[in-house]
């Protein structure tokens, strides 16, 4: 548990315009800032950031809240991690309170695994630089143009050909067998058998895989012996730190350049990416040997609008390009294909003919659909109707995924012209985009809302804006019994922050939960605050009256039931009378 004071200080120390502006550009619009909403698909910006309130709100999908909520939702982080990240950004020390054992354990494990990965990465790296056993690895990297400086910059490493050297090292650093097993760096013959762990990576060049924040969360190991009977690449398994298909290799280093160029060059392998980056072509990322997932595409969409696929021209590379397409188009990204001359990959092309040759190929990138049509034409497939039909059936479904209607129509028109087919023929094989969702979590992240009774909404607003109202509410009966959202009002009443401090208020709100925070993200509290206490008393009295009248209605229904004894009827009638007296008393504000 992080103390409430720390949360407030973190919220105050991180200006919401600075923080959101570091993820994507914000345009000034009067007293607030605007952008295309990152939480739902839209063409014109309805995402507003208000510096005076230190909050954001999207009028399209209802997303909203303070700076902590933004970081949680945008980075898919839990609350404590978001607080830590922003605390680190602003240099605010974290003050912990004793908290739920389960949450502590989860967080503790994550921290331990991060520390373990950092240690392991350092160990692999120093092996590569110094160990005599790593001479073959060094030779291999040299042959691929990787100098010592480059290896240091990417913290490349070497895993020795040993079943237990890493384990001995990690045990020496006081990591437990369980932690080592959970890290995925070791496995056992039998699942869960922590007594017989052995290193997963042996005699491999090690590439640390970092999340977009730069923390090592996994490894990819490349085999050295080309004749080896094992997989060319071995990756970490899924762990509490690492989910396959969520991480893009290189992103922590390249995100600035991606934003600047608004275009990502997608390489297949880590070495391709490193070669391009070190040759000065820095808007690069690698999905790591697999086709793009919906999560990776969404991650990339935060930084760029156009993706240039630079996969091998062999079959596997082309298939990976095709499989990446639905996820990328589904996120509204424009997809082009870079064809490298003579079957080269980016790494070999740059080494043989320099970065200019690579950039030249990049500049000739073609729209995916044009590229596919060219390929089919070159293969003689368009000469007969059957070949044309195959191409149309292959391109129809991804064509339907293009988000921008104007762009979709223009691609469709070009294809129809080249194939000399009516538009309707192509349209017939295009499924409607709605049925083409590539991943279930592509929907906007926010849909749920809270419905407030009018009185409860006013009271929550007054309580959020005025300390005096909060103090008064704490002296009343709990609101939880009065209204479905009364529990929320009770929580607000207990909040401790100064009036007129929007950052502290949004900091507090982010402790409530996403739906609750969203419900308040669009409020203008300043209008509420003329004599807030008087308004609160009046509204509170109204709520109590409403509650009493509901009870009267309930009793009247009971009275209408058949089979009541005379005695019971009299008792209920007396209760009704009592309630009515309380209602008429209640028309005067409570003390
Ligand atoms: Zn939105």
Evaluate if residue 261 carries a pLDDT over 90: no
Q: Given the structure tokens 């003919």, which residue do they identify?
A: 353
**Distance from the alpha carbon of residue 441 to the mean position of ligand 1, in angstroms:** 15
Evaluate if residue 223 carries a pLDDT over 50: yes
Evaluate if residue 370 carries a pLDDT over 90: yes
**Distance from the alpha carbon of residue 514 to the mean position of ligand 1, in angstroms:** 14
The residues placing their C-beta within 5 Å of ligand 1, an ion, are 37, 39-40, 58, 60-61, 63
> How far does the chain reach from its first CA to its final CA, in angstroms?
36
Evaluate if residue 231 carries a pLDDT over 50: yes
**Distance from the alpha carbon of residue 74 to the mean position of ligand 1, in angstroms:** 12
Q: What is the pLDDT of residue 104?
A: 64
User: Between residues 445 and 280, which one has the greater pLDDT?
Assistant: 280
**Distance from the alpha carbon of residue 512 to the mean position of ligand 1, in angstroms:** 21
Q: Given the structure tokens 């207990």, which residue do they identify?
A: 494
**Distance from the alpha carbon of residue 61 to the mean position of ligand 1, in angstroms:** 4
pTM beyond 0.85, yes or no: no
Average pLDDT on 276-289 reads 90
Q: What is the pLDDT of residue 316?
A: 73
d(CA 126, CA 546): 72
- Contact (Cβ atoms closer than 8 angstroms) between residue 408 and residue 399: yes
**Distance from the alpha carbon of residue 36 to the mean position of ligand 1, in angstroms:** 8
Q: What is the pLDDT of residue 174?
A: 94
- Contact (Cβ atoms closer than 8 angstroms) between residue 216 and residue 208: yes
pLDDT band per the 50, 70, 90 thresholds, residue 586: low
CA–CA–CA angle 275, 277, 280 (5° rounding): 110
What is the length of the chain? 591
CA–CA–CA angle 232, 237, 238 (5° rounding): 145
Highest mean pLDDT range out of 407-416, 498-507, 552-561? 407-416
d(CA 496, CA 499): 10
**Distance from the alpha carbon of residue 79 to the mean position of ligand 1, in angstroms:** 21
Instruction: Tell me which of 135-139, 168-172, 292-296, 467-471 is least confident.
Output: 292-296
**Distance from the alpha carbon of residue 69 to the mean position of ligand 1, in angstroms:** 14
Instruction: Tell me which of 63-72, 317-326, 420-429 is least confident.
Output: 317-326
pLDDT band per the 50, 70, 90 thresholds, residue 437: very low
Which of the 8 DSSP states describes residue 442? G
Q: What is the pLDDT of residue 443?
A: 37
Q: What is the pLDDT of residue 397?
A: 85
pLDDT digits (tens, 9 = 90+) for 129-188: 999 999 999 999 999 889 999 999 999 999 999 999 999 999 999 999 999 999 999 988
- Contact (Cβ atoms closer than 8 angstroms) between residue 264 and residue 300: yes
**Distance from the alpha carbon of residue 41 to the mean position of ligand 1, in angstroms:** 7
- What are the Cα distances from residue 119, in Å, to 50, 126, 127, 274? 42, 11, 12, 22
Average pLDDT on 284-312 reads 84
Q: What is the pLDDT of residue 20?
A: 93
Q: What is the pLDDT of residue 587?
A: 54
CA–CA–CA angle 277, 326, 391 (5° rounding): 110
């Amino acid at each position: 548990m992080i103390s409430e004071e720390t949360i407030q200080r973190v919220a105050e120390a991180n200006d919401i315009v600075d923080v959101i502006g570091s993820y994507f550009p914000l345009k000034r619009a009067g007293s607030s800032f605007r952008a295309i909403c990152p939480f739902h698909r839209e063409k014109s910006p309805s995402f507003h950031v208000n510096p005076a309130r230190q909050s954001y709100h999207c009028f399209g999908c209802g997303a909203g809240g303070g700076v902590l909520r933004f970081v949680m939702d945008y980075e898919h982080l839990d609350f404590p991690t978001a607080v830590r990240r922003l605390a680190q950004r602003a240099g605010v020390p974290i003050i912990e309170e004793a908290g739920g054992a389960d949450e502590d354990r989860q967080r503790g494990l994550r921290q331990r695994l991060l520390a373990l990965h950092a240690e392991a990465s350092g160990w692999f790296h120093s092996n590569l630089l110094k160990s005599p056993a790593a001479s073959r690895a060094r030779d291999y990297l040299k042959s691929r143009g990787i100098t010592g400086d480059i290896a240091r910059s990417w913290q490349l490493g070497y895993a020795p050909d040993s079943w237990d050297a890493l384990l001995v090292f990690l045990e020496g650093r006081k990591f437990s067998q369980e932690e080592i097993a959970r890290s995925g760096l070791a496995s056992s013959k039998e699942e869960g058998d922590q007594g017989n762990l052995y290193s997963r990576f042996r005699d491999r060049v090690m590439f640390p895989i970092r999340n977009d924040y730069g923390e090592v969360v996994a490894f990819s190991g490349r085999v050295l012996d080309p004749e080896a009977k094992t997989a060319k690449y071995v990756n970490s398994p899924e762990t509490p730190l690492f989910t396959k298909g969520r991480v893009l290799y290189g992103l922590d280093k390249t995100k600035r350049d991606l934003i600047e160029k608004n275009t990502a060059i997608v390489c297949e392998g880590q070495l391709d990416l490193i070669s391009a980056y070190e040759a000065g072509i820095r808007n690069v990322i690698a999905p790591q040997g697999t086709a793009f997932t919906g999560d990776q595409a969404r991650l990339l969409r935060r930084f760029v609008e156009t993706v240039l696929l630079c996969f091998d021209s062999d079959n596997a590379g082309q298939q990976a390009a095709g499989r990446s397409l639905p996820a990328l188009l589904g996120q509204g990204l424009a997809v082009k294909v870079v064809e490298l001359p003579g079957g080269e990959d980016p790494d070999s092309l740059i080494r043989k003919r320099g970065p200019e040759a690579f950039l030249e190929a990049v500049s000739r990138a073609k729209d995916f659909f044009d590229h596919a049509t060219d390929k089919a034409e070159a293969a003689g497939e368009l000469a007969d109707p059957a070949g044309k039909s195959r191409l149309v059936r292959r391109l129809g479904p991804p064509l339907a995924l293009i988000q921008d209607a104007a762009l979709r129509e223009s691609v469709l028109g070009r294809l129809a012209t080249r194939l000399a087919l009516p538009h309707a023929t192509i349209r017939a094989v295009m499924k409607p985009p709605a049925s083409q969702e590539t991943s279930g979590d592509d929907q906007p992240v926010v849909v749920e809302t809270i419905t407030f009774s009018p009185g409860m909404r006013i009271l929550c607003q007054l309580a959020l804006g005025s300390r005096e109202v909060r103090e008064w509410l704490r002296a009343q009966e709990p609101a939880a019994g009065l209204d479905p959202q009364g529990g929320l009002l009770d929580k607000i009443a207990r909040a401790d922050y100064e009036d007129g401090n929007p950052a502290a208020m949004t900091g507090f709100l982010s402790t409530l939960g996403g739906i609750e925070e969203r419900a308040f993200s669009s409020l203008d509290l300043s209008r509420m605050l003329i004599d807030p206490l008087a308004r609160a008393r009046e509204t509170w009295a109204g709520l109590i009256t409403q509650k009493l009248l509901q009870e009267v209605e309930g009793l009247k229904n009971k009275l209408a039931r058949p089979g009541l004894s005379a005695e019971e009827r009299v008792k209920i009638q007396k209760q009704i009378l009592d309630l009515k007296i309380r209602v008429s008393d209640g028309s005067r504000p409570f003390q």
